[in-house]
Amino acid sequence: MVDKRHCRYHPERKSVLYCEKYEYGYCDECLEARLACSDPEEYCKFRTHCIIWENGREEMKKRRASGE
């Protein structure tokens, strides 16, 4: 079972934000590491106000601009 109160990648840490679609929690370290959306190509009704999507979107723009 997924626990949105704890980090998806660091379960011993409390989450500071979570994915509303999948209810994954993420800690400060994950947020600072500019984690990306778990499923960026699929529709998400929460995307317009998603911090995770915005972080990942900036990284995707940089990669596309550099030709990766």
Domains in the chain, number: 1
Domain assignment of residue 6, yes or no? no
pLDDT of residue 13: 95
Domain assignment of residue 52, yes or no? yes
DSSP per-residue codes, 5-17: TBBSS-TTSBPSE
User: pLDDT band for position 4 (50/70/90)?
Assistant: confident
The structure's pTM equals 0.74
d(Cα 7, Cα 22) in Å, to the nearest integer?
13
Q: Which domain holds residue 24?
A: 17-66
Tens digits of per-residue pLDDT, 7-64?
999 999 999 999 999 999 999 999 888 788 888 889 999 999 998 888 888 777 888 8
Domain assignment of residue 57, yes or no? yes
Domain assignment of residue 12, yes or no? no
Domain assignment of residue 2, yes or no? no
